[in-house]
Amino acid sequence: MWWRTAKIYELYIDKFAGDIRTLTERLDYFTQLGVNCLHILPHYPSPMVDEGYDVSDYRGVRAELGTLNDFEAFLAAAKAKGIRIITDLVLNHTSVEHPWFIEARSSKKSPKRRYFLWSETGREFPDAINPMPFAKPRNWISSGAGDYFFATFYPQQADLNWDEPAVFDEMLSIMEFWIERGVDGFRLDAVPFLIKREGTDCTNLPETHARVRKLRAALAAHPDVALLAEAGTHSWTYFGNGDECQLVYNFYLTECFWIALMRGDASYVERAMAQTRNIPPHCQWVTFLGNHDAITIYSLSSEERRAVIRQLDPSGAYTSGDSPAVRVAEALAGYTEKMLAAFEMLYRAPGAPVMYYGDELGMRNLPAREGVADKRVYVRAPFDWEEARRQMGDPSSFFSRVAAIIRGSRRV
């Protein structure tokens, strides 16, 4: 159960290192920082409408990053240094440029048609959540042929039909493909959205949990491979009875981290840890302050939520709805001692902590621009290697102080 002592670092290959070979050459960076697991954000071929979460080939590597051989060499090199690798698995949807969808759209008689959700009217699932109203008014998208396909996120991301057994078989085969090459775990992206049912908001349904349990059972021959659930609400349910995901993001604790930091009241964190302590054996929460998405705060009243968001993002330039997309340094206005206190809080809490690339240097958001609807772009800047090298050579730098916090933490 390597995940019980995991210290995770989350990165985009291109933004962090440019390509896979350069990332491989820089593995010692993670050893110096004190992390022992990398979460690699999507590396698959993609039109890049949604930063790689619109996958066009689940068994490939995006050409600008390198080749499959490069990725295999990276996995072997990481393993030799004792570094585990988690990759993103985009279960809910594919790119509309994926061969499955191209075939499905080209012929209603194709078996691939059943891989996706179609409608003649676009009226089904009216209560389904639309997480991206800035990108589309509703989840049904015209196919251009008189019917509609369902897309929870961007219109170019067609939702898979997880009621079709062949979809499960395909995804399991994809997981086996990457396990054979040395991947240690999979982050299950947008897992609450897999199953759609009339009369519901199409999230966190019992049938979704059934599919996750089935995936876990199918991987029984690989007990050392971990599944990590991304579920913003009802997150604890994705442990199941120890038969779903071994790892789940603790979104509630993240909310309480930020509330505690904004209000100077650690009792929020203590209460959250007490409330999320009881999980199945051999499972682990994954804890974080920030990541490639926006920060979500669900547990407060609307008025309290707005007050906290005003502190996290005073200008409002990085906030869409109730979700500010801010790095740690941006949210804390670059105050070193506050940032260090935030990381102390993260690495003292039980769970597997995540460092989002660049936060250990104090990287801030990209400058705000007019007309940017998807605010998450602001926390996805290229890694500053010049600054990294400067700080790595300075024992009093922010990097060095953060590394001391990470190396000094004991995971339980």
The answer on 210 and 113 residing in a single domain is: no
Q: Residue type for 205, please? A: L
Share of the chain above pLDDT 90, in %: 93
The answer on 310 and 283 residing in a single domain is: yes
Q: At a CB cut-off of 8 Å and minimum separation 6, what does 121 contact? A: 148
The CATH number that applies at residue 135 is 3.90.400.10
Q: Which domain-ending residue is among 141, 159, 177?
A: 159
Compute the distance between CA of residue 344 and CA of residue 338 in angstroms, rounded to an integer. 10
The answer on 276 and 134 residing in a single domain is: no
**pLDDT given for residue 412 in this prediction:** 46
Q: How open is the CA angle 410-11-184, to the nearest 5 degrees?
A: 65
137 is in which domain, residue-wise? 93-159
The CATH number that applies at residue 357 is 3.20.20.80
The answer on 174 and 110 residing in a single domain is: no
pTM > 0.95: yes or no: yes
The answer on 300 and 155 residing in a single domain is: no
For the chain of 412 residues, list the mean pLDDT of each consecutive stretch of 10: 97 98 98 98 98 98 98 98 98 98 96 98 97 96 96 98 98 98 98 98 98 98 98 95 98 94 92 95 97 87 86 94 94 96 96 98 96 96 98 97 92 50
Tokens of 289: 């302050």
Compute the distance between CA of residue 3 and CA of residue 20 in angstroms, rounded to an integer. 24
The answer on 239 and 103 residing in a single domain is: no
The answer on 264 and 374 residing in a single domain is: yes
The answer on 173 and 134 residing in a single domain is: no
Total domain count, the chain: 2
Q: At a CB cut-off of 8 Å and minimum separation 6, what does 346 contact? A: 257, 287, 288, 289, 353
- Given the residues 50, 159, 184, 189, the one annotated as active site: 189
Q: Over the stretch 11-33, which tens digit does the pLDDT of each residue have?
A: 999 999 999 999 999 999 999 99
Give strand pairing partners of 229. Answer: 188, 248
DSSP symbols for 297-317: --SS-HHHHHHHHHHH-TT-T
The answer on 88 and 105 residing in a single domain is: no
- Given the residues 54, 124, 159, 230, the one annotated as active site: 230
- CA-nearest of 96, 92, 180, 104 to 131 is 92
User: Quick check: is 230 catalytic?
Assistant: yes
User: Quick check: is 359 catalytic?
Assistant: no
The answer on 303 and 234 residing in a single domain is: yes
Tokens of 151: 């897309």
Compute the distance between CA of residue 303 and CA of residue 254 in angstroms, rounded to an integer. 19
Tally of CB atoms within 10 A around 275: 12
The answer on 190 and 130 residing in a single domain is: no
Q: Over the stretch 146-166, which tens digit does the pLDDT of each residue have?
A: 999 999 999 999 999 999 999
